[in-house]
Chain A
Amino acid sequence: MSYVAIADRDHEQEHHDPQTFITKYIWSQDHKVIAVQYGLTAIFVGLIALGLSAMMRLQLGFPDQFSFINPENYYQFITMHGMIMVIYLLTALFLGGFGNYLIPLQCGARDMVFPYLNMLSYWVYLLSVIILLISFFVPGGSTGAGWTLYPPQAIMQGTPGTDWGILLMLASLAVFIVAFTMGGLNYVTTVLQARCKGMTLMRMPLSVWGIFIATILGLLAFPALLVSAIMMLFDKTLMTSFFMPAISSMGADPGYTGGSPILFQHLFWFFGHPEVYIVALPAFGIVSDLLSTHARKNIFGYRMMVWAIIAIGGLSFIVWAHHMYVSGMNPYFGFFFATTTLIIAVPTAIKVYNWVLTLWEGNIHLRVPMLFAIGFIFTFIHGGLTGLFLGNVTIDLPLSDTYFVVAHFHMVMGVSPVLVVFGAIYHWWPKITGRMYNETLGKWHFWMTFLGTYAIYLPMHYLGFAGVPRRYFAMGNTEFLPDSAQDLNAAITMSALFVAATQILFFINMIWSLLKGPKSDPNPWNATSLEWQTPDHPPKHGNWGHELPECHRWAYDYSVPGYEDDFIPQNVPPDKAPAGRDHGEDH
């Protein structure tokens, strides 16, 4: 018997559509509902993290003006802000949110391969969020060790939250990783096993490619974080010494001996650098689809784009120690990691070129999702180029641990993915909800977010050049800094508060759309990929009604010569439309 993908064995599947409100929306096993649950939870914690960043910006912009900010809670704010944004917002939103929504729909599957596990993944994720939030309220408060949680200080008395905060933080991370693993195995298996007939790997939309490779990275990288969290829990509670050498802390000997703080850093960044791409690759994939759809043009160099995603994913595992050039590790590592790090710039640059070349000779509709996509290219170019400074071991000597680093990673890993998140929400909103939003309000939201964030992070690089260190509660009188550095900080704070406040536009727009928004067409952007070709709009449980779709072409047949429409959906057979240039035969 020849091989038949699980999803193609349609007659073997029986669909028990959920009957009650609870099974439909709460204990749901529908990937679309789980995606929304993941998305809403992630955005909720993201808003908390946004609030924390407003607090730290108030202190940096206007030191000594606010009685509710002191060094103790300032360090707690920065720690929780970073951790929430990287793990609980971006990772959860891109993979748990967009991954869940897009993989089955774009692959032409009825659902994830293991729907029950998929549901568990969300609830365990929610548990990790609850543990994280509890840590704000325990005695001593949440941990203030910085999001990198470097020992020894993460578990020593000079750091805020060493009684309970750090324990809950580590426990929450461990629980999150369990949740991610359940979801991640599902995403990978679904992509590999449940694609509809004709959906070869080389016909998949780049969104799926980005999410697929990012999930593989996550499955390989998160275990490093898990073991380091567990070992640090042991160091803290059982007085083991995995990461703790003999030290004298505040005049007393805490009783550790023989451990290595550098070991933790290697484990952390072995996870931490792939983590950057766990967030970035889905953004790369999604933005490719937004650009192609709204420019009415095929993505330029699809094959190259796929291989670049795979190459970046692979390389991301051998560059981690560029976060540690000045950590005191063996300095000869610097040669190796600087070289691998700068090599990764090549596939990344190719992706940027191909995005821009997709616009070339297109027919560009500057709708809201497209504005965000082009905004992303701009901020990503900026953030990528500053990465070439920090990745080069020599330049890291003056710039590491300064605001240049903060500006760089916010540009490349904060602003850029968040612009894609917004673009993606505006793009798929009609499919998810069946309604349209207000286009004008969406454009205002784009302009304020895009220009506002650039006003925050462009000047911030220059604080770094001037030598302002990151994670400083206050500078005090530092001789080599001009007084104007404080004025610049005040201006940055104003921009940051402005950007934070304007996000209200997004929520107003979306709530209005849910309540009163006009009904949308099933395929308002005239897009080719399968999620826009569902028989129901929005798609119902099981996605495809009685018959699974069949895929006949790649996802980028836009403006094919000799065809009247400027798009040919993936499920249109070759006898009804020209073949375009198909990569499907590669597999």
Chain B
Amino acid sequence: MPLAVVLILLVVGSLLFHVLSPWTFTELASNWGMVDFTVDITLYVTGFVFVAVNLFMAYCVIKFRYRKGARATYEPENKKLESWLTGLTAIGVAAMLTPGLFVWAKFVDVPEEAHVVEAVGQQWHWSFRMPGEDGKLGEVDAERITNDNPFGMDPDDPNGQDDVLIHSAEIHVPIDKPVKFLLRSKDVLHDFAVAQFRVKMDLVPGMNTFLWLTPTVEGRFEILCEELCGVGHHTMRGAVIVDSADDYDIWLANQSTYSELNAKSVGNADIGAAQYAVCATCHGQQGEGIAAMNAPKLAGQSAWYLKRQIMNYKRGLRGTDPSDTFGQQMIGMVASLADEQAVDNVVAHIRTFPDEPVEATIAGDVNAGAGEYRVCAYCHGKDGAGVQALNAPRLAGMSDWYLERQLQNFRNNVRGAHPQDYYGFQMGLMGQSIYDEQAMTDLVAYINTL
């Protein structure tokens, strides 16, 4: 008897849980309402079967429970009943399958007017490429990928010259226009998934895959990688920003093409020298860093990382947290760099400084730190020299007190909390696994030995 009661309670409880659950599909933001419709049909059919069969079973357990002297009926088969049940099940299955196949037929058939966006995945970042006015994407090749050519573009392909390259995890698309995402991976499997759009597809190295949708709601929608791609899988995030037609045009006008990026002048160290004068007050004449001024060593740090952080300060992606006193100072200081060119110049100047060793200020258990560093090594390299392809800066031979403070900032969401600071967000998630002050000290002490 308790078993039957529990079975009935479980059926009722499951239905209640379903109705009351706040954990349901996110608000739909694309044309794929038909997917939700198919899900609803399936919920009704399967829900009916779930309730009916389980309640029937509970009834049997009550009605035919063991009684002394009772005897079961001998009934090996009942062809008629079996045929009926088979037929009804087949009808239920067809009711679920048919809409599913119709929707899938739409999904595999991309509208001709869809505009193309190539989403490029790599461990553990997104970037994007769009064809220029010629409407054609240029040839790409994994074997051509370098730090200077992260998309693997063919420099001799005329189709590629006007390709719009977006070195960011954020892509904009116009509302109510069908868009076809061409998916390409540089290294391993990834998956392009946006919950509100309902569709997803794997990225497979060596081939192109695709999905399409028409965004119907303006706003920011997160891209999650949903195919296990290594130790940083859970940090591989991006966003699709759905704009009004006007906003989209403004955004597009600010993007650079492959040929524009190639033609861009490099930073001028001589011009940068003058601008560095402001920096020198705190960071030192040779970028050696002055701990008393809370200014870390700059010499020897990679140019791409220095530039990104200065731009982050300028764009308000870093240093805006009220408890980040020194970050706020930096926002004030970098205001003197008028534009991107000025930033390039000052970075070029910093790159001319000699890379002198720094004095270690933090001591800890180096062996324990080596254990903590195992996870860091995936991106920053076993030698801590940093890996540009992974957007991981150099750690070894830099100011150790600064590393520790930044780890704390990441852990406390002081740094990396801005929704557009994707690399900071990533470090925040990875930094979560360093659990306490002692672990952080040990880790930095180990980095000092590299």
Give the interface of A toward B (CB within 8 A).
Answer: 63-64, 66-67, 69-72, 75, 144-146, 150, 152-153, 156-160, 245-253, 257-262, 295-298, 300-304, 326-328, 331-332, 334-335, 338-339, 342-343, 345-346, 349-350, 352-354, 356-357, 359-366, 371, 374, 377-378, 381-382, 385-386, 388-389, 392-395, 397-398, 400-402, 451, 454, 458-459, 462-463, 465-467, 469-480, 482, 484-485, 488, 556, 558-561, 566, 580-581
B441 to nearest A CB, angstroms? 14
Return chain A residues, CB-CB under 8 Å to B229.
153, 158
Whether the pair A328, B187 counts as a contact (CB closer than 8 A) is no
Contact yes or no, B189 A300, CB < 8 A: no
Given A71-B430, A465-B25: A158 and B123 interface contact (C-beta under 8 Å): yes
Contact in complex: B104, A394 (CB < 8 Å): yes
Report how far A398 CA is from B195 CA in the complex, Å.
7
Set of chain A residues within 8 Å of B430, measured between Cβ atoms: 71
Whether the pair B433, A69 counts as a contact (CB closer than 8 A) is: yes
Nearest Cβ on chain A to B219's Cβ, whole angstroms: 10
- A152, A301, A394, A467: which has the most chain B beta carbons within 10 Å? A394
The complex places the Cα of A365 from the Cα of B68 at a distance, in Å, of: 11
Residues 394-411 of chain B, each 1 if its beta carbon lies under 8 Å from chain A, else 0: 000000000000000000
Residues in A neighbouring B60, C-beta threshold 8 A: 356, 359-360, 362, 364
Verify if B100 is at the interface (C-beta below 8 Å from A).
yes
Tell me if B112 is interfacial: C-beta within 8 Å of chain A.
no
Contact B228 A328 (CB under 8 A): no
Task: Out of B25, B70, B187, B200, name the residue touching A152 (CB < 8 Å).
Answer: B187
Contact between B72 and A295, CB atoms less than 8 A apart: yes
Contact B234 A71 (CB under 8 A): yes
Q: Nearest 3 CB-CB pairs, A to B?
A: A245-B206, A251-B389, A158-B230
B224 touching A366, Cβ below 8 Å: no
Chain A residues within 8 Å of B193, by CB: 401, 469
- A contact residues around B123 at 8 Å (CB): 158, 249-250
Q: Of B47-55, B256-264, B285-293, B347-355, which stretch is located at the interface? A: B47-55
9 pairs from A and B in contact (CB 8 Å cutoff)? A248-B389, A250-B390, A302-B77, A350-B85, A364-B64, A397-B32, A397-B198, A476-B425, A558-B72
Q: Could you tell me the distance between the alpha carbons of A63 and B143 in the complex, rounded to whole angstroms?
A: 39
Instruction: Find out whether the CB atom of B82 lies under 8 angstroms from the CB atom of A362.
Output: no
Tell me whether A398 and B389 are in contact (CB under 8 A).
Answer: no
Question: When the two chains form their complex, are residues B101 and A339 in contact, meaning their CB atoms are under 8 A apart?
Answer: yes
The answer to the question of B89 belonging to the interface, with a C-beta cut-off of 8 Å to chain A, is: yes
* B interface residue count range (under 10 / 10 to 19 / 20 to 34 / 35 or more): 35 or more
Pick the residue among A365, A454, A459 that contacts B66 (CB under 8 A): A365
Known: A71-B232, A326-B201. A247 touches B103 (CB 8 A): no
Q: A70-B433, A250-B123, A328-B203 are in contact. Are A364 and B66 (CB under 8 A)?
A: yes
Interface string of B120-144 (1 = CB under 8 A from A): 0011100000000000000001110
Say whether B189 contacts A152, CB under 8 Å.
yes
Q: How many Å lie between the Cα of A401 and that of B191 in the bound state?
A: 9
Closest CB in chain A relative to B88 CB, distance in Å: 9
Contact yes or no, A156 B101, CB < 8 A: no
**Does the CB pair B46–A385 fall under 8 Å?**
yes
B227 at the interface (CB under 8 A from A): yes
- Is B375 in contact with chain A by the CB < 8 A criterion? yes
A477 CA to B418 CA, complexed, in Å? 11
Q: Which residues of A contact B107 (CB under 8 A)?
A: 331, 394, 397
**A472–B237 CA distance with the chains assembled, in angstroms:** 12
- Closest approach, in angstroms, between the C-beta of B90 and any C-beta of chain A? 6
Contact at B35–A395, with CB atoms within 8 Å?
A: yes
Which residue of B100, B122, B195, B232 contacts A394 across the interface (Cβ within 8 Å)?
B100
Asked if B265 is at the interface (CB within 8 A of a chain A CB), the reply is no
Q: Is the CB of A388 within 8 A of B231?
A: no
Q: Assess whether B188 is in contact with A247, with CB atoms less than 8 Å apart.
A: yes
- Please provide the chain B residues from 424 to 450 with a CB less than 8 Å away from any CB of chain A in the complex: 425, 428-430, 432-433, 435-436, 439
User: With A245-B142, A381-B50, A392-B96 as given contacts, are A297 and B72 in contact (CB-CB < 8 Å)?
Assistant: yes
Assuming the contacts A394-B104, A480-B222, asked whether A451 and B64 have C-beta atoms less than 8 A apart, the reply is no
User: Could you tell me the distance in whole angstroms from the C-beta of A85 to the nearest C-beta in chain B?
Assistant: 17
Cβ distance B237 to chain A, nearest Cβ, rounded Å = 8
Known: A150-B189, A251-B388, A398-B39. A64 touches B433 (CB 8 A): yes
B interface, by DSSP: helix, strand, loop or mixed? mixed
* Any A CB within 8 A of the CB of B42: yes
Say yes or no: B101 contacts A335, CB within 8 Å. Answer: yes
A371 and B61 alpha carbons, distance in the complex (Å)? 11
Q: Which of B6-14, B240-248, B313-321, B356-364 lines the interface with chain A? A: B6-14
CA distance A302 to B77 in the complex (A): 7
Which residue of chain B is the closest to A75 with respect to CB atoms? B231
Contact residues, B289-318 vs A (CB, 8 A)? none
Query: Contact check: which of A153, A388, A467 meets B195 at CB < 8 Å?
Result: A467
B35 A394 Cβ-Cβ under 8 A: yes
- Report whether A392 and B97 are in contact in the complex, using a CB–CB cutoff of 8 Å: yes
Which residues of chain B from 196 to 249 have a CB within 8 Å of any chain A CB? Answer: 196, 198-207, 209, 220-222, 224-235, 237
Select one of A63, A67, A158, A400 contacting B232, CB under 8 A. Answer: A158
Contact flag A158-B35 (CB < 8 Å), given A71-B433, A146-B228, A248-B143: no
* B46, A389: Cβ atoms closer than 8 Å: yes
Nearest chain B residue, comparing its CB with the CB of A157: B378
Q: If the complex has contacts A343-B93, A345-B89, A394-B103, are A462 and B21 also in contact, measured as CB distance less than 8 A? A: yes
Q: How far is the CA of A264 from the CA of B248 in the complex (A)?
A: 41
**A345 to B374 Cα, complex, angstroms:** 46
For B204, the closest partner residue in chain A by CB is A328
Residues of B within 8 A of A458 (CB): 14, 17
Q: A251-B388, A345-B93, A559-B71 are in contact. Are A398 and B25 (CB under 8 A)?
A: yes
Residues of B within 8 A of A251 (CB): 145-147, 387-390
Q: Given A332-B108, A478-B222, check contact A392 B100 (CB 8 Å).
A: yes
Cβ of A248 and Cβ of B76 under 8 Å apart? Answer: no
Measured CB to CB, the nearest residue on chain B to A379 is B10
Q: What residues of chain B lie closer than 8 Å to A357, measured between beta carbons?
A: 78, 81
- Asked if A466 contacts B17 (CB within 8 A), the reply is no
Q: Looking at the complex, which one of A145, A157, A388 makes contact with B228 (CB distance below 8 Å)? A: A145
Q: Is the CB of A328 within 8 A of B145?
A: no
The answer to whether B72 and A296 touch across the interface, beta carbons within 8 angstroms, is yes
In this complex, which of A296, A301, A382 has the most chain B Cβ atoms within 10 angstroms of its Cβ? A301
Shortest A427–chain B CB gap in Å is 16
Residues in B neighbouring A327, C-beta threshold 8 A: 202, 204
Q: Does B338 contact A (CB under 8 A)?
A: no
Contact among A146, A366, A476 for B428, CB-based, below 8 A = A476
Give complex CA distance A150, B34 in Å: 31
- Given contact pairs A326-B201, A395-B39, A381 touches B26 in the complex (Cβ within 8 A): no
Given A346-B93, A363-B67, A364-B64, the answer on whether A381 and B53 have CB atoms closer than 8 Å is yes
Contact A248 B186, beta carbon cutoff 8 Å: yes
B38 contacts the other chain (Cβ, under 8 Å)? yes
Residue B3, interface by CB 8 Å: yes
B residues in contact with A349, CB < 8 Å:
49, 85, 89
Q: Is the CB of B226 within 8 A of A469?
A: yes
Please give, as numbers and ranges, the residues of chain A lying within 8 Å of B57 by CB-CB distance. 356, 359, 374, 377-378
Q: Does B24 contact A (CB under 8 A)?
A: yes
* Shortest distance from the beta carbon of A77 to any chain B beta carbon, whole Å: 13
Whether B17 lies near A156 (C-beta < 8 A) is no
Of A260, A301, A338, A465, which contacts B104 at CB under 8 A? Answer: A338
List, in ascending order, chain B residues with CB within 8 A of A343's CB.
93
